[in-house]
A and B are shown apart, each in its own frame.
Chain A
Amino acid sequence: MRKTSELIDTLVESATPVRRLAPPLWRTCIWLALAALILALLCVVHGVRPDLSMRLRQPVFVVSMFGALATAVLAALASFKLNLPESPRRWLLLPLPGFAVWVSTIGYGCLTDWVSMSPDGIRMGEAARCFATLLMTSVPLSVVMLIMLRYAAPLRPTMVSTVGGLAVAAMTSFALSLLHSLDATIMILIWNLGMAALIAGMASALGRPMLAWAAGRVMPLLPPQLSKPQ
């Protein structure tokens, strides 16, 4: 085993100036600005759903959209807060109010619209375009969040990546509701909750190795002679 004094020597020798991490609120704004940019591009390329103006007059739809957006914003802020070592765990609870509103409106929609699901409710062409939108929204947002949260790798990777995954999932769901008119009950469940569970679940399961990978690739944090697998 190496001596601690030798380790200190190695760390001091490799110490270069570092740029301090921006405050969590500022980092949340950067991530949200990127999300807004992606959404704007998708709106220009794909166009919003044809019945958007009509749907925006329905309170349940508006509350659902607001719930998803609030979940995305609050979960992003929570993940950037939890990224800091000394932040208390209760930041984990921050996205819960938005999440509760979002899920309850989906549940309400499913109950009231159950009978309105028609045989042609699921159309393969529309579903494929939805899937493309889903990838175009969630992949860049996930990659950026992974890079922005990489310092959580040695601290609490699972917690941070789960909340980060929830932010991506909620933002993706918001984009889908804005762009695609898939309102059949089963599709709502699959796209909204199913995808949210999938993205957050993947982030939770792969959080530790992915954050460690991003930390090592984006900026080697330790001198090479000290780098070892965790």
Chain B
Amino acid sequence: MPGRSKENPPCSETPRLTLVRTPASITGQGSRGQWSALMARAQDGDREAYRTLLTEVEPYVRSIAIKYLRSSSDLEDAVQDVLMTVHSIRQTYDPKRPFGPWLVAIAHRRIIDQLRRQTRRRSREIELSTEHETFAAPPAKLFGERSVEIALVGAIDKLPPDQRDAIRMMKLEEMSLKEASQASGRSISALKVATHRAIRNLRKLLKGELS
């Protein structure tokens, strides 16, 4: 205070306790009032005031969002969404009313909307865990293929001998009808019938095993 300093000039020898007023922008109490003035100027087209406002408001919005969101990308999304909403509906702010409730209401609404969107997305989608990746990997799938192979070999062993020989030659060794006929000494038509019956019986056997 200039008046006071004239009455009591500071003495260099005696230490004095002086009261210093904290700037309004730091306390937060007065910053809302400043934000209100900055928004009013921004509404009139003052871009520097708008930049100051958005830069000052951003950490405050982040402090609200951090209560609801854990992931840093979600947090960043929410902060940016709130800032874009502030921009798109800045017409609705009336400088006669306090700025804080206006901003907090927008922040809460947008953060809740983001949480809803996340919940909806999570109800439709499943995030892949290491377990899913393990079973999707080729070696894991080989286990499944191997078990089917074992079941098939077991079912073939249960077939009558003529059908077992026919399916082994025709399907597993991939011989032609003529070659199989020569190897087994049976007619081509007999081999065809035996193969057909073998496949039908295998189907029944495997179905029974699977069920």
Q: Which residues of A contact B (CB under 8 A)?
A: 1-2, 4, 7-8, 11-21, 23, 83-86, 151, 154-156, 215, 221-222, 226
Contact = CB atoms under 8 A, between A and B. Distances in A.
Q: Lowest 5 A-B CB distances belong to which pairs? A: A221-B88, A17-B45, A86-B101, A85-B105, A86-B105
9 contacts: A4-B79, A8-B51, A8-B55, A12-B50, A18-B43, A19-B91, A20-B95, A155-B105, A226-B84
A17 B43 contact: yes
Given A13-B47, A86-B104, 14 more contacts: A1-B73, A2-B80, A8-B54, A11-B87, A12-B51, A15-B42, A15-B45, A18-B90, A20-B43, A85-B102, A151-B91, A154-B88, A154-B110, A155-B109
B87 A17 contact: no
B102 A11 contact: no
Nearest to B51: A12
Contacts of B94: 20-21, 23
B-side interface mostly: helix
A191 to B, nearest CB: 35
Interface in B49-101: 50-51, 54-55, 58, 73, 76-77, 79-80, 83-85, 87-95, 97, 101
Contact of A222 (B50, B88, B102, B106): B88
A11 B95 CA distance: 20
Contact of B92 (A7, A17, A84): A84
A83 B101 CA distance: 14
Contacts of A154: 85, 88-89, 109-110, 113
Given A12-B50, A17-B44, A4 B76 contact: yes
B63 to A, nearest CB: 14
A14 B45 CA distance: 10
B89 A151 contact: yes
Nearest to A215: B88
Contacts of B95: 20
Interface string B25-49: 0000000000000000011110100
A14 B80 CA distance: 16
Contacts of B42: 15
Contacts of B101: 86
Contacts of A155: 85, 89, 105-106, 109
A170 B128 CA distance: 52
Contacts of A17: 43-45
Contacts of B58: 4, 8
B109 A156 contact: yes
A134 to B, nearest CB: 32
B89 A221 contact: yes
A20 B45 contact: no
A168 to B, nearest CB: 22
B37 to A, nearest CB: 14
A9 to B, nearest CB: 8
Given A7-B80, A8-B55, A226-B84, A20 B93 contact: yes
A19 B76 CA distance: 30
B54 A12 contact: yes
A14 B83 CA distance: 13
Contacts of A14: 87
Nearest to B100: A86
A216 to B, nearest CB: 10
A146 B91 CA distance: 16
A11 B73 CA distance: 20
B45 A7 contact: no
